[in-house]
Structure 1
């Protein structure tokens, strides 16, 4: 259930007043949950570290997401950490939980930043949360040295610093520079015209559709004429092998005709040669592409 502002505030107050666990108590609670499914132990463990989740959620308010939603996502990450935590590995739960909480919050921020998917790979994620900081540092260093780096040089340095492909840096720069806008918004200086009207119509061109249908009709006529040169058995084989939506196998046709698979193949080749000759004799070079299929 989503938190509203009042519930989020109450959760924050509860988290800040929760007990602080020592290492031994934390270990005991984690083992009771892992080994016995003790929900009371889980609740105590998660409640104790909810202040950590709230504190981490607050660091991401600058991305424009409501604090209530960030807190809820942080809580989801904390629960995942508790579910997967192994108390016998010698790591404090808080250390382990930080990574799950951070991942959960970051995934939420990136999902809700834009209607267009902002990024999915680890390098894109790193760029989303760190590119502005690295760019600002590079620009400060450049100014301190009295130098001026070009946009291409800055992008290259960002890619090196964050270990990301240059194409990802260029893509993320564009995503962070702009915001979503409606295609139904009117263009400036063009009264009444929406951006949607500038998109190219990818539906088939009417003229091309009519021409294609005319060609198909002509091809059907040519094929029907070519099949008049075949015997009834050859025509049956061609229809079954070349015209039906679900072509029959040579073996299946052989069973129906009382012939071997090889004999059916020979009859099929013979029929195709007859059709090719018929097309060439009747229409000359006009159906060259069609005749080459037989």
Structure 2
């Protein structure tokens, strides 16, 4: 058990894990419910109005229940950390299964993602919206509208399967949970992905790099970032989407190398 837990909480965990005591389970749900509320608030601030908060709450709650069922208190891991990942994963899965983003928007977003990958691999520098628009024979306005429409798709697609030329699926982040965890090639695979993303983030334009840092390292919402940078939330969302498209493009461009490891 973690020493930071109160004696009462430790007893709830013991009763829940050993006896499946319903009252203990309910007490744990009440104790950790703020994790659900935090995740819902964070996602609700960045998603289109078509995604209802009640749906997010339902997805997040399922993630909390999943975490309570699978968590091993004796391991050296805080439940809040473990549950945070489970809740986030449940929200992402729920959003993907309900598919709020039209296929046409996904297809356009994928073309923009691929354009970023080709242009930035060729030029070895960040590409502008104008560069991508010229490459795809689109207007800058059309590119920016697709990025706005695809903001949900880019947010939930870190775990989305990548299809190779034979339509075989590989997970972008299959390295997160892998039954080959102790194998040397797994560690090489994970290190390669991390180094690749680190290099990509380092090459991002300053504002995009700052938004990525504030979202994923400081865990701020887009609304909070907008206040800090004195920009509109829609502008921050655009910068966030563009940065994710660049990173996805790099992963896609290197998928053959990833698969061969």
User: What range describes the TM-score normalised by the shorter chain of this pair?
Assistant: 0.3 to 0.5
TM-score (normalised: structure 1): 0.37
TM-score (normalised: structure 2): 0.41
Structure of higher CA gyration radius? 1
